[in-house]
Structure 1
Amino acid sequence: MTTSSSERGVSLGMPQLPAPAYPDDVRTRLERDAREVIARYPDSRSALLPLLHLVQSEEGHVTRTGMQFCADVLDLTTAEVTAVATFYTMYRRRPSGDYQVGVCTNTLCAVMGGDAIFEALQEHLAVGNNETTDDGKVTLEHIECNAACDFAPVVMVNWEFFDNQTVRSAKRLVDDLRAGREVTPTRGAPLCTFKETARVLAGFPDEREGAVAGGGSAGPASLTGLRLAKGETGPARVVHPREGGPQDAPRDAAPDAAPQDAVPPGYLSSHDAPQDTSASDPAHPAGPVAEEGE
C-alpha cells in the first residue's frame, strides 16, 4: 500500500505543519502541468527541480503550499522536498521582486568594479543583500561567477546578462525596471518577469513573441582578464569600492592610455598582477620536502 507524504512524515517522527492548500482551480492547473513535466522522466523523483520552478512561477517564491504540492504529486516527504528547495539559490523562500538583480562580485568582476556597483545599488535602492524595494519591483543580491568574465563587470536580471556595467549604467538599469520602462539585455532573450522566467525554467516554452530572438549586443569582449594574468596592469579598468564608481569608458583602451577610473600608480591589489610561484620563478623551484636528518 502506498503511503502519502504526510503519513511518511509522521512515521519518521517529523512535526507536521499543515500548509494552506491551493484553490481548486489553481491546483487543477498545476496538476495538469505537473503531469506533463513528470512524463519526461523515467523516475518521477527526477522531476522535483522543474516542479519547484513551476510552483515558484505561481507565487514568485517557493511556499510551504508549493513544497507540499511537490511532495504530494511525487510521493515524497515534505522534508525531502525542503532539502532540495533550500539547497539551490535559484529557489526563493520568501516573497521577492519582479526583477532579481544580481551583481557579480567574484574575482574579476569585483576588481573591475562589481563591488562598487553592488555597494552603489544598495545605497541607491535603500536595500541590503537579498532585500526587495518597497514597491516590490527589484530584489538585489550579489552573485557568484556566471562565466562572463570577458564582459566584466556583469549584472544579471532574472538571469539575463547585462554586460560591461558601470555604477552609472547599473543605476539607470534599476531605475528603468522600477519605472516600467523597457530594458534590453546585452545578449539573449528579451527580459521577462521572475514568475515568467520560473515557468520557462520549469521546461515550458516561452510563448512571448520574439522571446528566442532579440537581445542587444554585449560588445567586444574585454581582454582585461588576460592582461591581468600577464601582469599588464596599465590598461586595466580596476576600481576599488572605496575609490568611487567606475566611469563609462571605452573597452580595451590602448596600453599607453590610462583610463580615468584605473587604480592610481602604486596601488595594486593581489589581483592586479600574479605573484611569483614555483612554476613562474625558475630561481626558486619547488621540490619535495626533505625529511629531518636527510
Structure 2
Amino acid sequence: MDGNIFQQYPKNDRSNLIAMLQDIQEVHGYLPEKEIRKVADHLGMSLSGVYGVATFYNQFRLTPLGKNIIRVCRGTACHVKNSANILMALENELGICAGQTTRDKLFTLETVACIGACSIAPVININDDYYGRVTVKEIPKILNKYKKQEQAVSAE
C-alpha cells in the first residue's frame, strides 16, 4: 500500500510532505525510518528536512505505539487533584516516561491537556476505558487487567 502513497503524490512537490507523512503513519502506525528516507527522496528534500517536520508536529510518531495507549489527563482539574502523582506512579510501574512505549510493546504512556472528564478528576484512559478519581494505589490493579488480557490472548 505504501507504494501507492508515493504514486499519489507528484515527485519533487514539497507541498505534499505533511499529507504523505500522514498517509504513511496511517499505514504503519508510525513513521519508519525507511519510509522517511523514501519521502525525502521522492520530494527531493534532505532527510533532516523531513525529520524536522516529522518531529515538529505532535501528531507524528517515530516509534510504534504499544497495544494499550494510556493517556493521563494533565488539565487543570486533574492537576489540582494530583494527576502528577498518577503519572509518576504509572512511569514507575511501567519503567518508562511519558511519551515512551514499554519494551514488550504492551503499553504506551502519554499525557494529554484535557480528557474532558473534569468532574471525575484525576482521570486516565486506556484505549476506550476511562478511570476516574483514580488513586496511586489503584494503578497496579488497573495495569494488571491489561496484562492478564494479553496473557489470555497469548495462551490461545
TM-score, shorter chain, exceeding 0.5:
yes
| CA spacing shift, 1:111–1:123, aligned 2, 3 Å | same
* Matching residue of 2:143: 174
Give the deviation of 1:163 after TM superposition.
5.5
RMSD after superposition: 3.3
C-alpha distance in 2 between matches for 1:156 and 1:45: 37
Q: State the shift of 1:58 in Å.
A: 5.0
Write out aligned runs for 1:1-294 (5 A): 29-36=1-8, 38=9, 45-141=14-110, 143-146=111-114, 148=116, 150-151=118-119, 152-157=121-126, 162=130, 164-167=132-135, 171-180=140-149
- Which has the larger share of helix? 2
Query: Judging changes above 3 Å, is the alpha-carbon distance between structure 1 residues 67 and 133 closer, same or farther for their aligned structure 2 residues?
Result: same
* Cα offset, 1:137, TM superposition: 0.7
- Give distance in 2, aligned partners of 1:140 and 1:119: 11
1:179, distance to aligned residue in structure 2 (A): 3.2
Q: Given residue 60 of structure 2, which amino acid in structure 1 is its aligned partner?
A: Y
Q: Give the Cα separation in 2 of the matches to 1:53 and 1:84.
A: 12
- CA–CA distance in structure 2, aligned partners of residues 51 and 150 of structure 1: 36
Shift of residue 59, structure 1, vs aligned partner: 4.8
Deviation at residue 125 of structure 1 after TM alignment: 2.1
Contact 1:154/1:165 (CA < 8 Å) preserved in 2? yes
Q: Classify the secondary structure of the residue corresponding to 1:100.
A: strand
Q: Which amino acid aligns with 2:46?
A: T
Maintained 8 Å contact 1:101/1:156: yes
Distance 1:173 1:72, change over 3 A: farther
In terms of fraction of residues, the more strand-rich structure is 2
Bigger mean CA deviation after superposition, 103-112 or 50-59: 50-59
Shift of 1:82: 1.0
Q: What secondary structure does 2:72 align onto?
A: strand
- Percent identity over the alignment is 25
CA contact (8 A) 1:138 1:178 kept: no
Letter in 2 for 1:153: P
Query: Which protein shows a greater Rg?
Result: 1
Cα deviations by residue, 1:220-269 (Å, 9 ceiling, x for unpaired): xxxxxxxxxxxxxxxxxxxxxxxxxxxxxxxxxxxxxxxxxxxxxxxxxx
Query: 1:166-224: per-residue Cα shift (whole Å, max 9, x none)?
Result: 1366544433333336xxxxxxxxxxxxxxxxxxxxxxxxxxxxxxxxxxxxxxxxxxx
| Distance in structure 2 (CA, Å) of the matches to 1:49 and 1:165 | 38
TM-score of the two chains, using structure 2 as the length reference: 0.68
Using structure 1 for the length normalisation, give the TM-score: 0.40
Letter in 2 for 1:180: Q
| Contact in 1 for aligned 2:79/2:122 (Cα 8 Å) | yes
Q: State the Cα distance separating 1:113 from its structure 2 match.
A: 3.6
Which residue number corresponds to residue 16 of structure 1?
Answer: none
Q: Partner of 2:153 in structure 1? A: none
Distance 1:56 1:70 in 2: 12
Q: CA deviation at 1:66?
A: 1.8
- CA offsets 1:1-40 (integer angstroms, 9 cap, x no match): xxxxxxxxxxxxxxxxxxxxxxxxxxxx20214545x59x
Letter of the 2:4 counterpart: R
Please give the alpha-carbon distance, in whole angstroms, between the structure 2 residues aligned to 1:56 and 1:71: 15
